[in-house]
Amino acid sequence: MTDTKVVVAEIVAETPSIRSLRLVREDGAPLGPYRAGAHIDVTGPTGVLRQYSLCGPPTETASLTIAVKREPASRGGSAALHEVRAGDLIAIGEPRNILTVAPDADRHVLVAAGIGVTPLLSMAYELHTTGAEFTLHYFTRSRAETAFLDLLENRAEFRDRVRLHTGCTRAEQRDALAAVATGLTGDSAVYTCGPAGFMDTVTEVVTPVVGIGNVHIEHFEAAEIDTSGDTGFTVELDTGESFEIPADRSILSVLEENGIDVFKSCEEGICGSCVSNVLEGEPDHRDNCLSVADKAAGDQMALCVSRSKTPKLVIELI
């Protein structure tokens, strides 16, 4: 995937631990548009690559905006991006989407917690632009820890559409979500991004009303996986080449070792770069990027983490 060098044009301290970075190309050429809900690879000054959601208006072509939360256990990614200054150069990849706006929903409910607001902000811009019926529910610990507060409370696109929920206990969160669910139908779309436990609660509460196929999730973290029962299997490509995948190796690593080019980025099952088509066999999904519906369909899989329930898989690389 080609990297583009961009200049950090503006930095805003959104909260004590979250800063937004507006990025422009050095030569002034356009960077957008992109599809709402997209994320990009960002390689910061220390060379660490991470994925960040785009959170500006998708139709804006002059710049891209990301927001970075400084993680206490940062291994160099978010901490380094908290050190960059306006005028510094960083590298970014092409926008990619796991999350997208569902075209036929009767209404759209965006449910964010913490830094999870970022992909949902770009979706809110798009829903506003298309005139769709939407509400953004944003759960944070306090107003001081609410990113984009001024934008959400005062911009015309958002001020009547945003419900801020600050300082809620878990029980209050569940009650608020249950109240949201009462206004939905089987044709409504719910999008959620935030900590895994929060998204599990959102899914539990709204699924009985909208159905699991209408709950759209964006993960920031890799799934925890029990690998103790893993066994080997065979992967055949649509070209006819065949590879043995040992119990302790990923499909991706075996293909790469054999000189097969596969798109990849996170190698943790969250970015979607390595997702490929499954022509035969049943994947054992271990990723956090495909939707429940995609996993049930079984015709796509993430090669970096997912395995096989059948002795052989036939795969078509995308």
Centre a 10 Å sphere on the Cβ of residue 72 and count the other Cβ atoms it contains: 8
DSSP for 285-310, written as a single string? ---SSS-HHHHHH-SEEETTT-EESS
Query: Cβ(229)–Cβ(152) under 8 Å?
Result: no
Choose the binding region for ligand FES from 218-226, 241-249, 263-271, 293-301 (rule: CB under 6 A): 263-271
For ligand FES, which residue of 111, 123, 266, 315 counts as binding (CB under 6 A)?
A: 266
Does 53 contact ligand FES by CB under 6 A? no
C-alpha neighbours within 13 Å on the C-beta side of residue 12: 12
List of E strands, 26-102: 38-43, 49-53, 64-69, 89-92, 96-97
CB of 263 to ligand FES, least distance (A): 8
- Please choose, out of 129-137, 230-238, 260-268, 277-285, the segment that lies near ligand FES by the rule CB under 6 A: 260-268
Q: Is 38 in the site for ligand FES (CB under 6 A)?
A: no
Rg, C-alpha atoms of the chain: 20
Binding span for ligand FES by CB under 6 A among 23-31, 42-50, 262-270, 310-318: 262-270
Is residue 269 a contact point for ligand FES (CB under 6 A)? yes
Candidates 54-62, 79-87, 259-267, 293-301; binding stretch for ligand FES (CB under 6 A): 259-267
Query: Does 274 interact with ligand FES (rule: CB under 6 A)?
Result: yes
Instruction: Based on the shown chain and the rule CB under 6 A, indicate whether residue 41 belongs to the binding site for ligand FES.
Output: no
Q: Which is nearer to ligand FES, 155 or 264 (CB)?
A: 264
Among 267, 281, 283, 308, which residue interacts with ligand FES (rule: CB under 6 A)? 267
Dihedral in degrees, nearest 10, Cα atoms 205, 194, 272, 5: 160
Residue 93 found at the interface with ligand FES (CB under 6 A): no
Residue 272 in contact with ligand FES, rule: CB under 6 A: yes
- Convert residues 3-32 into a mask of x (bound to ligand FES by CB under 6 A) and - (unbound): ------------------------------
Give the phi and the psi of residue 218 in degrees, each rounded to 5: -120, 115
Distance between CA atoms of residues 1 and 77, nearest Å: 19
Of 228, 212, 221, 199, nearest to 296 by C-alpha is 212
CA nearest neighbour of 252 among 297, 295, 309, 313:
313
Closer Cβ to ligand FES, 38 or 109, answer by number: 38
CB of 115 to ligand FES, least distance (A): 19
| Shorter beta-carbon distance to ligand FES: residue 192 or 273 | 273
* Contact flag: residue 147 with ligand FES (CB under 6 A): no
Q: Site size for ligand FES, by CB under 6 A? A: 14
Does residue 304 bind ligand FES (CB under 6 A)? yes
Contact 161, 128 (CB under 8 A): yes
- Indicate whether 273 belongs to the interface with ligand FES (CB under 6 A): yes
Alpha helix positions (H), 35-116: 77-81
CA–CA gap between residue 291 and residue 47 (Å, rounded):
30
Which stretch, 27-35, 151-159, 203-211, 258-266, contacts ligand FES (CB under 6 A)? 258-266
Q: Centre a 10 Å sphere on the Cβ of residue 39 and count the other Cβ atoms it contains.
A: 29
DSSP string, 198-245: HHHHHHHHHHHHH-GGGEEEE-SSPPP---TT---EEEEETTS-EEEE
Using CB under 6 A as the binding rule, whether residue 289 contacts ligand FES is answered as yes
Give residues in contact with ligand FES (CB under 6 A): 264-267, 269-274, 287, 289, 302, 304
